[in-house]
Chains A and B, each alone.
Chain A
Amino acid sequence: MKILTTVKRVVDVELNIRVNDGAIVEDGLQYVINAWDENAVEASVQLKENNSAETTLVSIGGDDNADMIKKCYAMGIENGILIDDPALAKADSAIYAKVLQKVYEKGDYDLIVTGKQAQDTDSGQTGVMLAEYLGVPCVSNVVSIEVVDDQKIKVSRLGDMGTEIVELTLPAVVTVSDSINEPRLPAMRGIMMAKKKKIETMDLSALGTSIDDLNGGALQSEVVEYMQPEARQSGQKFEGAAADITAQVVNLLANEAKVL
């Protein structure tokens, strides 16, 4: 089985993010692998370990993605593709999905594993759109993947009515939840080996496409302004004897907030 795992380099959401004049202040930001994609990498490596699969990752971005790709190598991913093209500096989910479609078509993969959303946009569209463009089945918010045979996998998904068990005919796309696994910390040996591994870098023409094939790079939607959310007014904090302060808060909930 050939697995393609997509990973995105995103801003570290644990740190402060500032906005000035409608734009994100780049100064002081740090970038990390998208947390859900790290789960996708772990899921792919586990499939490789348990089912003799071949693992390839793909990422779209500049050469500053190299550290992230090497980290994925250290976790056990075998091959890495970086799509680096200035025409993709501004892209939306649909364009990313179309680029990934080209990568898929070049590689004859059986399964695409991706995080259910990227933590910079929290959109959760690219993986699902990719499946639509490819015309292959897709299940999102997946919490387990089990190989049935060469043709089929069985996944479970957290849906609105409970855990859905779905059998997928390959090729297929799954987008994974962070509940699927706990990504491993790479071992020192893996880190050393990853340093020597190459990254296959391609621009759009090497991929056999061009920005004209991608609707001229026209964006279906675009962010015109970033804003900082209004911080919640920090309220009243009560310390002291539990009986007293609890009674006080209940009284306020009933008479001040009027919500009880």
Chain B
Amino acid sequence: MTKILVVADIKQGVLKGSTSELLSKARALGAETAVVAIGSNIESLGSDLANAGSDTQYIADDASLELFSAGPFASCVVDAAKQSEADLVWFGFSETGKAVAPRVAAQLNVACASEITDVTIDGDNVEVVRPATANKLIQRIKVNTDKLVAVVRAGAFEATEGITGTENVVKLSIPETDLKAVIKEIISEAGDDIDLADANIVVSVGRGAKDQAGIDLVKELATDLEAGFGSSRALIDAGFMPHNKQVGQTGKIVAPTVYFAIGISGAIQHLAGMNGSKVIVAVNKDPEAPIFNVADYGIVGDLFEVVPILREEIKKIRS
């Protein structure tokens, strides 16, 4: 039986949705499931981890693991991978996963695949599918090693309703702190904003908003919709939006139910970060903007005129 180890995605002590998505897929494949959780003060997550669909929970809980450090984090995953004898080790889509997965693969001396969207297991043969080349190509990849470490692309797998596992906690020993890569501090930009990765609706703003006043206008739409608020690269380079809001190939990859692209022209690097969204709505002055090639609903118009009407109409239809 295939054994799959999922690396839990934990932010500020809370288990994120990607963990149950990955575990649901693992169970659907008929695999034995385990999860590894790494952090500080996370002991109480045992039942959440089981309820997310895992049958064994490897937990590394120590104050030294509070701030992310790739070396110790990788050591914990390798330890859990060995103890669980996992054939597949899966990370949810995150900067943590991208930084740690190649380390784990190198230490286990097995193949690594980034941003997979599908996996097929046929006896000993494992194949994965993933986008490449700024989403212009899809690769089908054959795995030649007996194990695979992979980062799963955001939105690739769906959580199954009513999934559950069994609580069976195994405590991991705590790795030594990496003295050659010392975390001095983490400057949080996020505040209490809705996490883009988890948001059901995402509203993103682009160059068309021009300045802070335009951005604030679009942000009000996001607030009304309780949506994650993102940005195209232009406003980040111009210093108007923080880096962690960037949606695109080089920033966050999102796949919400609805994506509003407001004043975004639709460069391929941006499209690569959002074209997995279920429904895309675009507002742009330029009828030739490439964003309209991917939008399900395109509004050709000035965002300064359209956004207030959009807010009004949404309020009306929701009441």
Which residues of A line the B interface, CB within 8 A? 11, 13-14, 17, 19, 24, 36, 92-94, 97, 116-117, 119-125, 128-129, 131-133, 136-141, 143, 154, 157-169, 172, 177-179, 218-229, 232-239, 242-243, 245-247, 249-254, 257, 259-260
Contact = CB atoms under 8 A, between A and B. Distances in A.
B300 A238 contact: yes
Contact of B134 (A119, A133, A172, A234): A119
B133 A159 contact: no
18 contacts: A13-B134, A19-B137, A93-B112, A121-B133, A122-B115, A136-B180, A160-B11, A167-B181, A179-B236, A221-B144, A223-B139, A225-B140, A226-B138, A235-B298, A242-B306, A246-B313, A250-B317, A251-B317
Contacts of A157: 95
Contacts of A124: 98, 102, 114
Interface of B: 11-12, 67-68, 70-71, 94-96, 98-99, 101-103, 105-107, 110-115, 127, 131-145, 148, 178-190, 236-237, 243-244, 246, 249-250, 257-258, 268, 275, 278-281, 287, 292-302, 305-306, 309-310, 313-314, 316-318
Given A13-B134, A122-B133, A232 B102 contact: no
A237 B301 contact: no
Contact of A159 (B137, B186, B298): B186
* Most chain A CB neighbours (cut-off 10 Å) among B187, B244, B313, B314: B313
A220 B144 contact: yes
Contacts of B148: 221
A238 B317 contact: no
Given A14-B268, A141-B99, A251-B317, A220 B301 contact: no
A137 B297 contact: no
B140 A227 contact: yes
Contacts of A13: 133-134, 136, 268
B185 A229 contact: no
B182 A166 contact: yes
A119 B135 CA distance: 10
What does DSSP make chain A's interface, helix, strand, loop or mixed? mixed
A16 to B, nearest CB: 8
Contacts of B287: 237, 239
B215 to A, nearest CB: 18
Contacts of B68: 159-161, 164
Nearest to B181: A137
Given A222-B142, A232-B275, A246 B294 contact: no
A167 B182 contact: yes
Nearest to B150: A221
Contacts of A36: 250
B131 A229 contact: yes
A234 B296 CA distance: 6
A243 B309 contact: yes
Contacts of B144: 218-222
A250 to B, nearest CB: 4
Contacts of B184: 154, 165-167
B187 A227 contact: no
Chain B CB within 10 A, most for which of A162, A169, A227, A234: A162
B279 A160 contact: no
B203 to A, nearest CB: 13
Contacts of B182: 166-168
A180 B112 CA distance: 26
B180 A232 contact: no
B30 to A, nearest CB: 23
A166 B297 contact: no
A220 B110 contact: yes
Q: Most A CB atoms within 10 A — which of B133, B185, B268?
A: B133
